[in-house]
Chain A
Amino acid sequence: METLLALQSGFATSLSLGNLGAALTGAALGIVVGAIPGLGSVTGIALLLPLTFGMDPTTAVILLAALYYGCMFGGAYSAILLNIPGDAPAVMTALDGYPMAKRGEGGKALFSANIASFIGGTTGIVALSFMGPLLAEIGLMFGPPETAALILLALCSIGWMLGDNIAKGLMATMLGILLAVVGIGSTFGHARFTLGSMHLLNGVSFIPLVIGMFGFCQLLEMMTDRPKPGEGPKQIPLRAAIPSRRETLRLLPVSLRSGLIGTLVGILPGAGATTGAFLSYMVQRKIGRNGAEMGKGAVEGVAASEAGNNGAAAGSFAPLLSLGIPGSGTSAVLLGGLMMWGLQPGPLLFATRPDFVWGLVSSMYIGTVMAVIAAMLIIPFLMQILRIPISVLIPVIGTVCVFGAYSVNGSMFDVWLMLGFGVAAYYLKAADFPIAPLILAFVLTPRLESSIRRSFDISNGDPWIFVSSPISVTLVSVICALILMSVVGAGVSWMRKRAAQ
């Protein structure tokens, strides 16, 4: 009840003309920034932050928050249409979205992505408004051993990504791990495999890697195996692209569940929208009805990824607002913003500035609705991209790749890195090495390494720390069960085969 009253007064703040305008501007900008490969929410907010210096803090944060979740909508576009994830959380969207576009279902994938984004985001915002401080406390229960177990659980699902040739799949995974260890290791603070280059001190940047291995590799493939005349993307009228009521209903359970998972991941320290999308996708793959179809162009895959990253974006506001702890790279920039506007982020913010906190939370409801309407209106124009002849598309994609890689740090080094990864991925794919496990390993291992090292630092080398809390015991049991299940399953099918002979 108290929450409802607070929300009501929040709406009074957020419905002022200036704040409504801020939410709309932010959402629209976010969609554009998210859709441009290389410009993610972190860059977008960092670019806009200085302009908000003299603004009223509530208006400023409404603008930037709208940009944050707007990005999650826009990130899906280039992932689905060009196989270039617009930002890191959209990687999993590309896995199913691009095959759908190839089949001529690009429009449907776009609409589904945005519907799922909306449902997932709203789930996160509802959770934030009614349980924000509670969620933040739950996030605190995840220490290094719990985080390590959670990431290990996510890594378990690498098995089904490996493809037909397990050895090659594992080699790709190892390559991802190897790339991830480049840079200053967080545990000892020493530079590893930097080859004396200052640009590699912070490690290989994720965006050039992804743009290279997805986008630029895609371009090389388009150039080498041109479709015969008459083939190529099919043109679908807009009406056929809009999901039917039945199809929308099919998206509902996936989006709700993924939104919830995303929210929970978003509150964990340092996890963020990318991990949220990964985990939602994996859960969907394990328990969804057509899990086997995922990765080949299942609409559930698009929905799980998109709902997951929107949920996480909302969830990461819980620790930021109620404790002053940034839950992701983007909220770390926002934390700096709060200080710049003269606010004191911390546990007292809810009490000292309720107008600010509730104005922001209520604006998120309005902003998400605005974002989904704006996003839906853009889709018919985006679908025209599918009609562009391949000879025009190739130079466009090339430009987008170079621009995207450059814009992360404004450095040519990342462009060379992107080109190198693109060529490498082309040959890897030609030799049947899967790319998805490489990317997954690259994202998850740095966090896994530092969590394990920290756990050992805390326990003074005692491995029992990994089963010392109810959370970690549960997670480790689930991991063991998953491994046992697949071993037993393999054993049973082997026995059956023998019996049949």
Chain B
Amino acid sequence: MQVRMILAAAVAMGIGAQAQAWEPEGTVEFVVPYSAGGGSDVNARMLAETWRANDIVDANVVVLNKPGGSGAVGNTYAFSKTGNPNTLMTFIAGQMMSTISNDAAVKLENVTPLATLSVDTLVLVTRSADDFADFDALVAAASAEPNSITIGGVSRGSEDHLVFTMLSDSLDAELQYVPFDGGGDALSALLGGHVDAAIFNPSEIGQQVAAGRAHPLGAFSEERLSEPFDSTATFAELGYPGVAISLFRGYAGPPEMPAEAVAYWEEKLKAAYDTEMWQQDYIQDKGLVARFMGAEESAEFYAAEAEKYERLLKAAGFID
């Protein structure tokens, strides 16, 4: 085993000298473990378009949707391409979280992180300021009658359930979590007044906030978000330090991806990140926070996040 690793390292170093020379040949498969039109799909297609329009990558990049099993089908597909330098995959926080909660066969150890280009977060919103002016009003109502305040989310064991658990653990009052099958159902339940509040990605709810159909109570981010959430306090500001989540949007390759390919894709991802097109059409328009992490930094960050999710999911009684 050790001999093999040393050999692999030696080979990698040997080729490392000509790393810049490596270029993908033929078609590059860009795997999206979710269906077309979803967040990861839009992300991958935007990236491929940014590469093409700015002449960053010459190879033909084909986006391939492999939905199913909360990302497990796509993860497994990428895993089956072990060692292939021409296979990329979108890799996001929720996808990694589901490998932990479902105890999937392909986990973080089985992919090669390449880079992270942005982070997303979550916000807590209610229907209007008339229902609850701020988060304290919601807490007061919850204290008056336990479990009377309902918070909509996507599903148990998902990112929003995790922040819900973090939040309700730091309160004296009891809140009630109501899982909907997807963001769309949760949104109509909120707008129809069937739940008191709900948790969304800023980009999912931004248009409703701008139209005055939803009222943000707090942001699960480390720092203040941009418009229309610029006046929304973070939970740390509200007196709940540590109640925050950074949902990374990154990219990974199959296991044992050659080092020169990793270096190549890391560089190309950075180049896309630096374009005006990416910053404007993706980051700005989709309400995300731009953040670049290289291959090594991403690997460390994902490992730390995976550990955190495992701890939180255990605390929530979701896994044992």
Q: A198-B69, A326-B184 are in contact. Are A347 and B207 (CB under 8 A)?
A: yes
Contact for B105 among A45, A198, A319, A335, CB less than 8 A: A198
Chain B, 84-125, contact with A by CB distance < 8 Å: what is the 0/1 string? 000000000000000001101100000000000000000000
Chain A, 179-200, contact with B by CB distance < 8 Å: what is the 0/1 string? 0000010111101000000110
Among B161-207, those with CB < 8 Å from A are 161, 176-182, 184-185, 187-189, 191-195, 206-207
A144 touches B181 (CB 8 A): no
A199 touches B187 (CB 8 A): no
Contact for A189 among B38, B45, B68, B156, CB less than 8 A: B156
Among B42-68, those with CB < 8 Å from A are 42, 45-46, 49, 63, 65-68
Which residues of B are found within 8 Å of A199, using beta-carbon distances? 68-69, 73
Instruction: Determine whether B72 belongs to the interface, using a CB cutoff of 8 Å to chain A.
Output: yes
Least Cβ–Cβ distance between B56 and chain A, in angstroms: 17
Among A395-415, those with CB < 8 Å from B are 409-411
User: How many positions in chain A have a CB within 8 Å of any CB in the partner chain?
Assistant: 51
Of B147-155, B243-251, B266-274, the one touching chain A: B147-155
Q: A336-B36, A409-B67 are in contact. Are A457 and B181 (CB under 8 A)?
A: no
Instruction: Determine whether A345 belongs to the interface, using a CB cutoff of 8 Å to chain B.
Output: yes
Docked pose: A120 CA to B76 CA in angstroms: 43
Q: A50-B45, A324-B207 are in contact. Are A333 and B37 (CB under 8 A)?
A: yes
Among B1-47, those with CB < 8 Å from A are 35-38, 41-42, 45-46
Instruction: Determine whether B276 belongs to the interface, using a CB cutoff of 8 Å to chain A.
Output: no
Contact for B181 among A139, A186, A344, A410, CB less than 8 A: A186
Which residues of B are found within 8 Å of A450, using beta-carbon distances? 180-181
Instruction: Determine whether B213 belongs to the interface, using a CB cutoff of 8 Å to chain A.
Output: yes
Among B284-316, those with CB < 8 Å from A are 285-286
Docked pose: A201 CA to B103 CA in angstroms: 12
B67 touches A201 (CB 8 A): no
A143 touches B194 (CB 8 A): yes
Least Cβ–Cβ distance between B298 and chain A, in angstroms: 25
**What residue in chain A is nearest B66 (Cβ atoms)?**
A410
Least Cβ–Cβ distance between A185 and chain B, in angstroms: 9
Tell me which of B66, B101, B181 has the highest count of chain A C-beta atoms within 10 A of its own C-beta. B181
Instruction: Determine whether B318 belongs to the interface, using a CB cutoff of 8 Å to chain A.
Output: yes
**What residue in chain B is nearest A42 (Cβ atoms)?**
B35
Chain B interface residue number, banded:
35 or more
Docked pose: A345 CA to B210 CA in angstroms: 12
Pairs A–B under 8 Å by Cβ, sample size 27: A46-B36, A47-B36, A50-B63, A53-B49, A140-B188, A184-B70, A186-B181, A189-B156, A189-B157, A191-B102, A198-B73, A199-B68, A201-B70, A202-B69, A270-B182, A323-B187, A324-B207, A336-B41, A340-B37, A340-B45, A347-B211, A411-B68, A411-B73, A454-B189, A457-B179, A458-B176, A458-B178
Instruction: Determine whether A299 belongs to the interface, using a CB cutoff of 8 Å to chain B.
Output: no
Docked pose: A191 CA to B63 CA in angstroms: 29
Which residues of A are found within 8 Å of B211, using beta-carbon distances? 346-348
Least Cβ–Cβ distance between B142 and chain A, in angstroms: 12
B148 touches A53 (CB 8 A): no
Chain A, 128-150, contact with B by CB distance < 8 Å: what is the 0/1 string? 00000000000111111000000
Contact for B191 among A144, A323, A339, A457, CB less than 8 A: A323
Q: A184-B70, A319-B188, A326-B184 are in contact. Are A53 and B37 (CB under 8 A)?
A: no
A325 touches B189 (CB 8 A): no
Docked pose: A304 CA to B101 CA in angstroms: 44
B207 touches A457 (CB 8 A): no
Least Cβ–Cβ distance between A320 and chain B, in angstroms: 9
Chain A residues close to B by CB (< 8 Å): 45-47, 49-50, 53, 139-144, 184, 186-189, 191, 198-199, 201-202, 269-270, 319, 323-326, 332-337, 339-340, 342, 344-348, 409-411, 450, 454, 457-458, 460
Q: A49-B36, A336-B41, A339-B42 are in contact. Are A270 and B185 (CB under 8 A)?
A: yes
A457 touches B68 (CB 8 A): no
Which residues of B are found within 8 Å of A333, using beta-carbon distances? 35-37
| Additional A-B contacts beyond A198-B105, A270-B185, A323-B191 (17; CB < 8 A) | A143-B189, A143-B192, A199-B69, A202-B69, A269-B184, A269-B185, A324-B187, A333-B35, A333-B36, A333-B37, A346-B206, A346-B210, A409-B68, A454-B178, A454-B189, A457-B150, A458-B195
Which residues of A are found within 8 Å of B180, using beta-carbon distances? 186, 450, 454
Contact for A140 among B35, B69, B177, B192, CB less than 8 A: B192
A458 touches B194 (CB 8 A): yes
A269 touches B37 (CB 8 A): no
Instruction: Determine whether B281 belongs to the interface, using a CB cutoff of 8 Å to chain A.
Output: yes
B37 touches A336 (CB 8 A): yes
Instruction: Determine whether B279 belongs to the interface, using a CB cutoff of 8 Å to chain A.
Output: no
Least Cβ–Cβ distance between A443 and chain B, in angstroms: 15
A332 touches B177 (CB 8 A): no
A332 touches B182 (CB 8 A): yes
Least Cβ–Cβ distance between A294 and chain B, in angstroms: 32
Q: A199-B68, A458-B195 are in contact. Are A189 and B207 (CB under 8 A)?
A: no
A339 touches B286 (CB 8 A): yes
Instruction: Determine whether B82 belongs to the interface, using a CB cutoff of 8 Å to chain A.
Output: no
Q: Which 5 A-B pairs have the closest CB atoms?
A: A336-B37, A346-B207, A143-B194, A46-B36, A140-B192
Instruction: Determine whether B208 belongs to the interface, using a CB cutoff of 8 Å to chain A.
Output: yes
B147 touches A460 (CB 8 A): yes
A332 touches B210 (CB 8 A): no
B37 touches A49 (CB 8 A): yes
Which residues of B are found within 8 Å of A323, using beta-carbon distances? 187-188, 191, 213
Docked pose: A119 CA to B108 CA in angstroms: 53
Among B251-285, those with CB < 8 Å from A are 281, 285
A342 touches B281 (CB 8 A): yes
Which residues of B are found within 8 Å of A334, using beta-carbon distances? 37
Docked pose: A457 CA to B189 CA in angstroms: 13
Q: A139-B188, A339-B42 are in contact. Are A201 and B179 (CB under 8 A)?
A: no
Instruction: Determine whether B143 belongs to the interface, using a CB cutoff of 8 Å to chain A.
Output: no
Contact for A336 among B38, B76, B281, CB less than 8 A: B38
Instruction: Determine whether B158 belongs to the interface, using a CB cutoff of 8 Å to chain A.
Output: yes
